[in-house]
């Protein structure tokens, strides 16, 4: 004797009963009693050969009878049998690799199709390819535009940032109307506009050791378009572990680099740079500036390498570091070898899973506020303004560079670039009160430390620099 629960849609065959008590000592017997009582249920549950239909599972209480004794599973008073279907599915059109191009695609890719090196076969390889772009900034912008135009079928995009006015000078995938939007949405819109035949996977995350493996896994090739060391080492190590080529590019001022790392047999980023530079030694583009066109050149070298890897044509940039100098307009090449001692891709790797890259690169964690260099002796921009208005006797020095002073300045400030401070110290009076400022407060903090060591006691650092001045005192002062 057992209770059988009838699924809702089958109650039309069970005289509307939602459960019935039936006789039998095994599951098979109970089901036989069920179909004897309600013959119409039979064809719903059993096939023509009298076997349970492929999608039907029978559960005795909480257990699938397949893992018990199937039909022979004994039943006792108080047991409940449930009939549960197996259900699965999926959009097969995506799961099965496309083997043809539509008429529209054939037109769109005609300049590829007429080259034997690409042809129909190559274009289908592109359509079936899966590339992950890390970042939609300077390098990601040309990458996103050209990879979608080329017909790379699935492109993963990672970015958690928002479009900012300072991005527009080089991140050409975003427009003025996109300022304030998520870079992910802005980039995806542009890419799908260029080519609606592609699929874009959006990852609104900061890539870190907790999510990188999962994010990278579905892709054939990873392209690193980031501008910081922790992410660069993270992407490299994850690519080596997952055996995916890492198409690398980096940019600074007028110079760039590119290479393909972690390709089977080839070197990785750590073979070239085993250790990150000390924090602060290598300035970022935000600190040192970058020619807006430069990431276009480097990003397109990365895009070219990615497409070559997919098509399997030409000579990949593996084991070679390409150096580009825009001012000299010269490309140079350095030979790179895989380092057998490399901690990640060497013969006896010691790094076999992802580590804490913020710590590895000596960076404070994101959530920790950056310590101000000279927290003591800081002064708010509003207080500086009040001092000026009151006519207090003090000297405001601007320790930025002359070209920055040309962009904007605070009236009355004396320009002494940080690098000139030592030789121009004689211009300062140690008895006079001094306030130093720069763009954001870091360089002027260094200036304050330097002057204190030189015996100046009445020096203070204007908190947040001219950026904070623009926010808190005079919004007419442009931010850069």
Partner 1 sequence: MIEIESGAWEVMVSHAESTFPNECCGAMIGNIEGDQKRVTAAVPLENAYTGAQGARYELRPEDLLAADRKARAAGLDLIGIFHSHPDCDAYFSKTDLENSCPWYSFVVLSVKSGKFDHAASFLPNPDQTAAEKEELTWPKS
Q: Active site residue: 268, 271, 285, 361, which one?
A: 285
The least CB distance from residue 154 to partner 1, in Å, is 8
List b or e across 327-356, with b for residues whose CB sees 16 or more CB atoms inside 10 angstroms: eeeeeeeeebebbeebbbbbeeeebeebee
Q: In angstroms, rounded to a whole number, what is the distance separating the alpha carbons of residues 252 and 325?
A: 10
342 is catalytic: no
21 is a site residue for partner 1 (CB under 8 A): no
Quick one: which segment of 80-88, 336-344, 365-373, 469-477 binds partner 1 (CB under 8 A)?
A: 80-88
- 381 closest CA partner among 480, 443, 467, 448: 467
Q: In angstroms, rounded to a whole number, what is the distance separating the alpha carbons of residues 226 and 205?
A: 13
- 31 closest CA partner among 96, 82, 78, 91: 82
10 is a site residue for partner 1 (CB under 8 A): yes
Instruction: Provide the token pair at 86.
Output: 């197996």
The least CB distance from residue 88 to partner 1, in Å, is 4
Q: Which residue has the tokens 């020095």?
A: 397
Cβ closest to partner 1, residue 161 vs residue 420: 161
Quick one: which segment of 57-65, 263-271, 317-325, 364-372 binds partner 1 (CB under 8 A)?
A: 57-65
391 is a site residue for partner 1 (CB under 8 A): no
DSSP 354-412: ---HHHHTTPPPTTSPPPPTT-TTEE-HHHHHHHHHHT-SEEEEE-S-HHHHHH---TT
7 is a site residue for partner 1 (CB under 8 A): yes
The least CB distance from residue 185 to partner 1, in Å, is 8
The CA-CA-CA angle for residues 196, 198, 202, to 5°, reads 105
46 is a site residue for partner 1 (CB under 8 A): no
For residue 338, what are the CA distances in angstroms to 256, 277, 316, 332?
Answer: 22, 20, 15, 20
The least CB distance from residue 82 to partner 1, in Å, is 6
Q: In angstroms, rounded to a whole number, what is the distance separating the alpha carbons of residues 160 and 464?
A: 24
Cβ closest to partner 1, residue 6 vs residue 435: 6
Q: Parallel, antiparallel, or unpaired for β 221-224 and 246-252?
A: parallel
268 is catalytic: no
Quick one: which segment of 24-32, 87-95, 221-229, 308-316 binds partner 1 (CB under 8 A)?
A: 87-95
5 is a site residue for partner 1 (CB under 8 A): yes
Cβ contacts of 273 within 8 Å, gap of 6 or more? none
Task: For the segment 172-211, give every residue that binds partner 1 (CB under 8 A).
Answer: 188, 192, 199-202
The least CB distance from residue 194 to partner 1, in Å, is 14
Using CB under 8 A, pick the residue from 28, 46, 59, 433 that binds partner 1: 59
Q: Active site residue: 268, 361, 408, 438, which one?
A: 438
Task: For the segment 233-272, give every residue that binds partner 1 (CB under 8 A).
Answer: none
Q: Judged by CB under 8 A, how many residues of this single chain contact partner 1? A: 34
Q: In angstroms, rounded to a whole number, what is the distance separating the alpha carbons of residues 333 and 124?
A: 32
Quick one: which segment of 51-59, 362-370, 394-402, 444-452 binds partner 1 (CB under 8 A)?
A: 51-59
92 is a site residue for partner 1 (CB under 8 A): yes
Where does this chain bind partner 1 (CB under 8 A)?
Answer: 5, 7-10, 18, 43-44, 55-57, 59, 62, 64, 82, 84-95, 188, 192, 199-202, 218
Q: Which residues are catalytic?
A: 285, 438
């Amino acid at each position: 004797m057992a209770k059988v629960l009838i699924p809702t849609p089958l109650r039309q065959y069970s005289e509307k009963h939602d459960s019935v008590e039936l006789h039998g000592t095994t599951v098979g017997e109970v089901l036989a009693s069920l179909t004897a009582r309600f013959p119409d249920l039979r064809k719903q549950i059993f096939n023509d050969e009298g076997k349970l239909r492929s999608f039907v599972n029978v559960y005795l209480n909480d257990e699938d009878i397949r893992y018990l004794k199937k039909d022979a599973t004994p039943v006792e008073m108080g047991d409940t049998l449930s009939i549960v279907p197996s259900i699965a599915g999926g959009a097969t059109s995506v799961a099965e690799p496309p083997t043809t191009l539509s008429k529209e695609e054939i037109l769109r890719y005609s300049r590829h199709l007429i080259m034997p090196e690409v042809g129909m076969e190559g274009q289908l390889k592109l359509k079936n390819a899966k590339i992950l772009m890390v970042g939609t900034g300077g390098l990601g912008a040309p990458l996103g535009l050209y990879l979608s135009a080329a017909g790379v079928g699935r492109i993963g995009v990672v970015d958690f940032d928002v479009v900012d006015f300072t991005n527009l000078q080089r991140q050409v995938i975003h427009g003025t109307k996109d300022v304030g939007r998520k870079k992910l949405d802005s980039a995806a819109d542009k890419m799908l506009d260029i080519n609606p035949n592609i699929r874009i996977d959006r990852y609104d995350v900061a890539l870190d050791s907790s999510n990188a493996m999962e994010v990278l896994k579905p892709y054939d090739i990873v392209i690193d378009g980031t501008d910081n060391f922790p992410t660069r080492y993270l992407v490299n190590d994850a690519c080596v572990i997952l055996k995916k080529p890492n198409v690398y590019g980096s940019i600074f001022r007028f110079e760039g680099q590119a290479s393909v790392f972690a390709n089977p047999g080839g070197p990785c980023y750590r073979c070239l740079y085993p250790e990150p530079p000390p924090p602060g030694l290598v300035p970022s583009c935000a600190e040192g500036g970058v020619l807006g066109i430069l990431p276009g050149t480097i990003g397109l070298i990365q895009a070219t390498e990615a497409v070559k890897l997919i098509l399997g044509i030409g000579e990949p940039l593996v084991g070679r570091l390409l150096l580009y100098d825009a001012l000299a307009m010269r490309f140079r090449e350095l030979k790179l070898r895989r380092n057998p001692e490399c901690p990640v891709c060497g013969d006896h790797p010691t790094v076999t899973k992802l580590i804490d890259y913020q710590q590895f690169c000596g960076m404070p964690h994101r959530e920790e506020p950056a310590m101000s260099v000279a927290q003591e002796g800081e002064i708010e921009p509003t207080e500086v303004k009040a001092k000026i208005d009151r006519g207090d006797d003090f000297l405001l020095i601007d320790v930025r560079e002359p070209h920055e002073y040309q962009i904007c300045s605070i009236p009355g400030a004396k320009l002494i670039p940080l690098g000139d401070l030592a030789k121009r110290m004689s211009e300062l009076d140690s008895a006079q009160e001094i306030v130093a400022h720069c763009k954001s407060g870091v360089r002027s903090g260094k200036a304050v430390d330097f002057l204190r060591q030189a015996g100046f006691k009445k020096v203070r650092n204007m908190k947040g620099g001219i950026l904070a001045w623009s926010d808190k005192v005079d919004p007419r002062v442009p931010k850069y």
